[in-house]
A and B are shown apart, each in its own frame.
Chain A
Amino acid sequence: MTDTPLFQYTLRLADNALVLGHRLSEWVGHAAVIEEDLAFGNMGLDLIGQARALYTYAGEVEGQGRDQDALAYLRDANDYRNILLVEQPNGDFAVTMVRQLFYAAFAYPYFEALTRSKDATLSAIAAKAAKEMAYHLRHSAEWVIRMGDGTDESHARAQAALEELWPYVGEMFEIDQIERALIEAGVAVDPASVRAIWDKTIDDVLAEATLTRPQDGYMQSGGRVGRHSEHLGYILADLQFLQRAYPGATW
């Protein structure tokens, strides 16, 4: 395997998108109203579309003949490179929306910056993804504001969701050797460069939502090197069942 930094980096972006997209797809048919059901389907499809483009490119970079399906369906959990935030269970509506807010508030400015990548393919994928993540950010932010500034119950649930997911925020901004070289080459985006934007977005939303920003404590880490929570295994069992049981199945 030509396990280059560019392959690893592209795979990380792809895995984030696929796993979060799959999580959102789990809501389809279960949301409280059909309008929100469609919103989850739309956002999930945005992310799965991003994943497909990124997997295809990762496969080309790797040069071992793996296509998007091989990368999505035929890797085990410890080969997945997504951050732990995106694999966290949907929980209630507040947990799902806070998770979406955390990710979109990061991904939107991150992909905007990635449009200036020296890698033309990543730049093109980022241009499309940035527009999609801008809507995810707006939609999730509006919901978090309404839950926080809503009833006692919705406020309590939104605050609990913030506390539950806060330990997964730090991993978004980590840099390791793989990314440092690509950042210096002008290919990857330094996540530190979007930290201030993320902080301001979150602070503005929480202020309007009358919610309290949790204290920074111990931050979970490890997803990007393949150390995942138990949840990812269940996601992949769902996602990969067909290709595992009936290899090469098409319809």
Chain B
Amino acid sequence: MTEKNWPLWEVFIRTRNGLSHRHVGSVHAVDATMALHAARDTYTRRGEGLSVWVVPSSAITASDPADKDMMFEPTASKIYRHPTFYEIPDEVGHM
């Protein structure tokens, strides 16, 4: 009997009223087909989803938390990038 862990998969679900798939968690499974089953059985038990994606966790390249200052801090001072300076005519309504 092998003691090796099954590969990890990240699970994304599109909800009934959602437009895009959202990350909901992860499962262990031997391959992609079984990962879909595991995702269905683990994360859609209460009618949460209409579509499920599974992606090998190993396929995800993540930013290094130690690079946080370099990666994300410089944007903090550039408030002009937020589209809050435009005058929106009343007729347009809520955007």
* Residues on A facing B (Cβ under 8 Å): 33-36, 38-39, 42, 135, 138-139, 142-143, 146, 151, 153
Contact = CB atoms under 8 A, between A and B. Distances in A.
A39 B41 contact: yes
A33 B41 contact: no
Interface in B64-81: none
Contact of B37 (A34, A139, A151, A153): A139
Given A33-B6, A33-B28, A153-B1, A38 B34 contact: no
Nearest to A33: B28
A38 B11 CA distance: 16
Interface of B: 1-2, 6, 27-31, 33-34, 37-38, 40-42, 45
A35 B1 contact: no
Contacts of A139: 37
Contacts of A146: 30-31, 34
A142 B37 contact: yes
Contacts of B33: 142
B45 A35 contact: no
Contacts of B38: 35-36, 38-39
Given A139-B37, A153-B1, A35 B30 contact: no
A176 B71 CA distance: 74
A39 B27 CA distance: 12
